[in-house]
Structures are given as structure tokens and as C-alpha cells.
Structure 1
């Protein structure tokens, strides 16, 4: 979506906020939570064709899971925003070589899973259902998949999880929300309205949902990977994680961007898993 279109939408909602700030804020939140892409294209379907597909459910929503069986430890892969399980293609072959039992899932409103709306809290419940089913030892999440993984570990007792890998993950929802508001150019009416809706729907203010703070007492060993030039999630978020998550280590990259799909990282991730 071009910056002109983004600003046009923001201006239109700003104008409507003077008639009804609640209506405009609800529209703004719906826009924030509606992915524009994430469905499989033909090339991506080839990645999951070799997997055993199983459908789980959470509150009448189907959760699609993909399994590549192995005799080593079980790894669960959680993709990020506007993506799907095929994003792990660059990592899959190396994990298969190590004979890991690999599970991947599609997030709400992504891939072949159900839903029209997406948020990290709902995603964390999807992840919990998959963890309960497959009892993974390692949880790897990219971007908001990393944030949702943290939420899941914080809100549920998951003794099978020994290690957590978060790739380019946001450290707090406040930052994500602020960047969205700024990108759209929302006025104070909508900005305050968005914060109010979050409090009403989830029972907590926006600043409560700090993934970095949630990791403070995690027993699972953590690996934080983040690129210094990440244009989506600032590198400062990785530093927040590293500061709060005492049982973790940080790998800093430069030039791999937000996607972090560089084969040079794979041995480091596998080494962490095998330690």
C-alpha cells in the first residue's frame, strides 16, 4: 500500500472521528488487525506439500499444522505477520538433516487457518493449542510470532518448552501500536480511542502487553536474534529483551533485515538448540 493511500485512509478516518470517535477508532483497529496477505501461493504450497497436515481448533477456528516427522527433539515454528508456514523453507532442510521432529502452524487469518482478524493474543492461544498437542521442546517465532510465543509461555504452564528462539520480535505492544498510529497519521481522538478499545477488549492497557517484561522469570533458555538495520522492528527492542530475559543470549546481525532469512544464521540456531 502506497504512502499516499495510507495517508488518505488516515485522513478519512480522522475526519470521521469528529462525527464519532468510537466508530473511527473501531475502523482503525479493524484495519490494524486485518492482514492483506498471508495466503499460500503455488510456490509456497510446494514447501508444505511434503508435510503431514493436521487441523486443530480453538474457539471454532481451525488451526492448520504441518509436521515433518523426525526422531530428534520436537521444534515448533511460528511465523510472523502476513506470512505463513512456508516462510521456514530456508530453515527446514537443515532441521530435517538433524532429524528434528518439526511442526509449523498457520496463524489466525493466515495461510490455511481460519479467521478474519489477527492479534498476538489470539495467536498465542493458537500456539498453546499446538503445544498441548505436540509437546515441543523448542519454540521458534519470527516477528509477531515471537511476541505471541512469549505471550503463550507467560500465560500458560508449558513444561515441555526447554528453549525459545525469537527472531526480530517486538518487545512491547506499545511500540507496535505507536508506529501504526504514526504511519496512518491518526489524530488524538483515534489514538485515545484505540487505547480505550484495547483496554475494553483485553482487560489491560496497551503498555501491559510487554513481551520483554514477560520474559523476566522464564526458565526456558532464550536466543534473541535481531538485525541492527531492521526497518520493521527497531533493534532497541532486542536490547530490551536482552535486558529483561536473564536466561538468554543475543545475536546481533547487520544487513539481514527484518526477515533474517540468511543461511549463516542456521548453524547458530541449531547449535543453540543442541547445547
Structure 2
């Protein structure tokens, strides 16, 4: 059924681009931004989710009219680990990791992004993940770690590079840049390069008006972390986000650690023992002094540059 839907969608975009690439981009844009119906919470994860303390943070949303985002919290204390799900995901996908981190006495915070899970809204994009992380930073202060899956992993990277304060970052099955998503979308629907270029321009105007090159900061390659310790986890059988993306992220962030799994794919990796053990070990180990010094130095360099830009 999904293949039929994709075939029909691709045929529609290709028909539109026969008139012009701009028409093709206009036909593709609603499909690119579409969020599927929220996935159900797995039965095995219901007890963990029922024990969460629920609250709401309000962010502007891509439409700028405001949207309420549901937040889940477990545990207590000053050490906060934030979990960011991916596109068409939800917080409950992290339930197994939540239980592991609670056992280590961390406060664990997760959220359902706009149009996902129990949160309101119909449209969303990476800026919403960034705004949620910023709102949670105001509430909880500096994070002990951000763990991001897929699209949420890219959000964790660009948000930290943009000023969100966290001791560590973990990405799981994450793309290295927003351009990767556009390339994958083109491959799925089979439209031409001129239409892809037009879609990129339309995307930039729609979501980042006034920003001449939003892809410059929507990239973990072009905008690496400011010395923040990074753990990159990816499965070699991931059919959604190619394993090569993990290498791109790791190569752009010297000193990062790359862990691979095998046979779990894009989503089941979140319950794999190797993933769980790697995250817990990474989050609980002391931060090397050199990493802290590098982050402080990078921040000191950024501040004058930002002042000049203003």
C-alpha cells in the first residue's frame, strides 16, 4: 500500500515538473512536510509512559501561531537527560532507555514534537525540536546529555552547535544534514534535479524566510559541535538512514565515538542491548577536561562573531 501511494505521489510530482521545476516543487512540498498519523504506544511501554509526570511547553511552531508540546518526566535530581525522537516517532520509543537511565538516578525528560504522539499541531520541522530543547533548557538548566534518534539526532546536533548547553550528545540512526533528507525524498519520488533544487529553495523560503542559506546550519557536517563529547550509534542494516551518515557525522566531529550495531534497522535499535549499554556507559563516564576546555574555547570564539553579525 505504501509503495502504491509513493508511486502515485511520484507520478503527480513528475507530471507537475513537466510544466516547470517550480510546479514540481510546489507539488512535492506538501508531501515532504507531511507527518503520518501518530504511531501507537507499544503495549510493553505503556507502564513506563503511565508513570511519567506530564506537562506542556508552548513554542511558536512553524506557523508562528503557537503549539503545545507534551513533555514527559521521570526521576528527579539535577542531572537531566533529554530524549528527542525522530520524524513520525514519539517519546514512548525511548521507554526501554528511560528505565535504564532512571536506574542510574537521572532525571529523564522526553517530548512528543508537534503533530507527533499526544502533541497538537499538523505541521512541524526541525526548528520545532530546537525550540522545544530551548524551552526545556529554561526549565531544567544545562543538560547532562541529549539523546536524539533519527531526525531528533540531527536536531540535537544543530541545536547544540547553536547554543543549547549539554555535557554530551548521542545520535542514533541520524542523518548528517537536512540536505540528506531532500536527497532521499527525491530518490523516493523520482523527480529531476532541477525540481529538487527548486524544492530546496521553496523549503528555505517557507521555513526560514530571510535566511539566505539555512542548510549551512541545518548540517552537522558544515556546523560541527563546539567540542561537546559525541557518541554516534547506527545500525549497518538501517534502510531509512544509510550507515554512511554516521561516518559523516563522526568525521566532522573529531574525538567522537562511533558504535555500530547489526540487524536492528532504523527503529528496533532503540531496544538493542548494545545501544542501551553504549548510551548508559557514555552518559555516566566523567567528561575529559580537554573536552570542557574545547567547548569553552569554542564558545568564546562564537560570542564575538555573533556580536559582529548583529
- Give the alignment's TM-score, normalised by structure 2: 0.81
Partner of 1:144: 151
CA gap of 1:69–1:30, structure 2 versus 1, over 3 A, is: same
1:254 aligns to 2:273 (yes or no): no
Q: 1:213 maps to what in 2?
A: 222
Deviates more, 1:223-232 or 1:117-126: 117-126
Q: CA deviation at 1:19?
A: 4.7
Determine the structure 2 residue equivalent to 1:166. 171
- Matches of 1:168 and 1:204 in 2, distance apart? 29
Return closer, same or farther for 1:243/1:134 CA change in 2, 3 Å cut-off: same
Offset from partner CA, 1:133-177 (integer Å, 9 cap, x none): 22222110000000011121122x333x10111111100122211
Q: Find the aligned partners of 2:189 and 2:48 in 1 and give their Cα distance.
A: 35
| Corresponding position: 1:236 with 2:237 | no
C-alpha separation in 1, matches of 2:107 and 2:181: 33
Query: How far 1:274 moved relative to its partner?
Result: 1.0
**What is aligned with 2:301?**
none
State the Cα distance separating 1:18 from its structure 2 match: 4.0
Q: In 2 relative to 1, CA 87–204 (structure 1 residues): closer, same or farther, beyond 3 Å?
A: farther
Q: Are 1:10 and 2:10 matched, yes or no?
A: yes
- Give the Cα separation in 2 of the matches to 1:213 and 1:197: 21
Instruction: Pick one of 274, 277, 281 that aligns with 1:271.
Output: 281
Residues 70 and 14 (structure 1), Cα distance of their counterparts in 2 relative to 1, 3 Å cut: same
Conserved 8 A contact 1:72-1:98: no
SS at match of 2:238: coil
Tell me, yes or no, if the aligned pair for 1:13 and 1:24 is still in contact at 8 Å.
Answer: yes
8 Å Cα contact 2:133-2:164 kept in structure 1: no
SS of the equivalent of 1:213 reads: coil
Identify if the C-alpha distance between structure 1 residues 57 and 39 changes in structure 2 by more than 3 Å, giving closer, same or farther.
farther
Contact 1:212 1:240 in 2 (8 A): yes
Who is 2:290 aligned against? none
Count of residues in correspondence between the two structures: 272
Cross-structure match for 2:115: 109
- In 2, Cα distance between the equivalents of 1:194 and 1:83? 24
Mapped pair 1:176 → 2:177: no
**3-state SS in 1 of match to 2:109:** strand
Name the SS for the 2:259 alignment partner.
strand
**Structure 2: gaps spanning 5 or more residues:** 61-65, 286-310
C-alpha distance in 1 between matches for 2:38 and 2:77: 31
Partner of 2:29: 29
Q: Which piece of structure 1 moves more, 256-265 or 61-70?
A: 256-265
Q: Secondary structure at the match of 1:256?
A: coil
1:107 is displaced (CA, Å) by 1.2
Q: Which residue of structure 1 aligns with residue 72 of structure 2?
A: 66
Greater Cα offset, 233-242 or 68-77: 68-77
The 8 Å contact of residues 108 and 122 in structure 1, kept in 2 or not, is answered as yes
